[in-house]
Homo-oligomer: A and B are copies of this chain.
């Protein structure tokens, strides 16, 4: 009690803001958590150096794709925020799933994967997506789960058959899963990549440093933006360690967004649950590193973060933000850019067969 009084008096002597900060930080600590400085553990799977090395190889391995030329890294570019920075409207080959790529950075902290949450965890996302036939994916919204299961099974089998012919992979799977008699199986591809992905975290963002007590880590505008972010209601969905990624919400709960943001034919999570209550419901995206993950929305409709903030305020909160409020919230959002993981490119085994389908 005496300490608290002394602290309060010191804070008052130092000027008002320090005291206000303390209160804003307490509020923030109740809503958000910093990204940990070391990779989180995955339930039931222990990360070993051999597993992580294999996972990294596979993350960069074009031969995982049916077309033999698209790796995880092709769309989840680790130089550009774990996304490809493209817009759906560009019509690139890489945009196969009908929705904007979501970042792999900090994805381990999301409750589920994909915009509709159809993968329950990282491994599920891997084993049910990398094998997808791009041609089939182009015709479906939401990707691999819509593919004929027979075709998917055939493709998985073909990947394993191919990898068994690559001595370096036979060896790498043995080392990664030393207790298994037949380690080169499809499920282990997912396990290894998921473990590698746990290392793709971005600690030490200015916001996290501030959250942990460094008053100087945020500018006054960023603190004001954080306060607005909480007071306006943004934080009621965008909260937790990923400032999002923990729950689902109807997009357009107050006001229907324009069709470029919410096209009528993408029913979101309905496709997973078949419940009409989930029509136009999406996973709340993480705002971590949002500076790096343009374009925004599941449609990739805009590269303009201010515009994105405005659309969200209107459609989700029924709020019209002033230019100043928007600027401050964007200033806060830019404080969510963390330290990107240092990734040394793996060297992959030689290619011995053509990339044809």
Residue ranges of A at the interface with B (Cβ–Cβ < 8 Å): 60, 62, 69, 77-81, 84-87, 89-90, 92-94, 291-292, 294-295, 303-304, 340, 342-348, 350-356
In the complex, are the beta carbons of A347 and B340 less than 8 A apart? yes
Given contacts A86-B355, A92-B69, A355-B86, contact A294 B350 (CB under 8 A): yes
Identity of the chain B residue whose Cβ is nearest the Cβ of A93 in the assembled complex: B93
In the complex, are the beta carbons of B344 and A87 less than 8 A apart? no
**Among B80, B89, B294, B351, contact of A294 (Cβ-Cβ < 8 Å):** B351
Docked Cα-Cα span, A355 to B88, in Å, equals 10
B residues in contact with A292, CB < 8 Å: 350-351
**Among B81, B345, B355, contact of A343 (Cβ-Cβ < 8 Å):** B345
**Among B79, B350, B353, B355, contact of A348 (Cβ-Cβ < 8 Å):** B79
Identity of the chain B residue whose Cβ is nearest the Cβ of A294 in the assembled complex: B351
B residues in contact with A89, CB < 8 Å: 354, 356
Q: How far is the CB of A63 from chain B (nearest CB, A)?
A: 9
Most buried by B among A60, A69, A294: A69
B residues in contact with A346, CB < 8 Å: 79
Identity of the chain B residue whose Cβ is nearest the Cβ of A340 in the assembled complex: B347
Given contacts A78-B345, A346-B79, contact A87 B355 (CB under 8 A): yes
B residues in contact with A291, CB < 8 Å: 350
B residues in contact with A90, CB < 8 Å: 69, 354-356
B residues in contact with A354, CB < 8 Å: 87, 89-90, 295, 303
In the complex, are the beta carbons of B344 and A343 less than 8 A apart? yes
In the complex, are the beta carbons of A81 and B350 less than 8 A apart? yes
Docked Cα-Cα span, A48 to B160, in Å, equals 45
Q: Give me the 7 closest cross-chain CB pairs, A-B, nearest first.
A: A85-B351, A340-B347, A343-B345, A87-B354, A79-B348, A60-B79, A291-B350
Q: How far is the CB of A121 from chain B (nearest CB, A)?
A: 25
Q: For the A-B complex with A81-B350, A340-B347, A344-B344 known, give 20 more contacts whose Cβ atoms are closer than 8 Å.
A: A60-B79, A62-B77, A69-B85, A69-B94, A78-B345, A79-B345, A80-B351, A85-B355, A86-B355, A93-B93, A292-B351, A294-B350, A294-B351, A295-B354, A303-B351, A303-B354, A304-B352, A343-B344, A344-B345, A345-B345
Q: How far is the CB of A306 from chain B (nearest CB, A)?
A: 11
- What are 13 A-B pairs with beta-carbon distances under 8 A? A60-B79, A69-B92, A69-B94, A79-B345, A81-B350, A90-B355, A291-B350, A294-B350, A294-B351, A303-B354, A304-B352, A343-B345, A344-B344
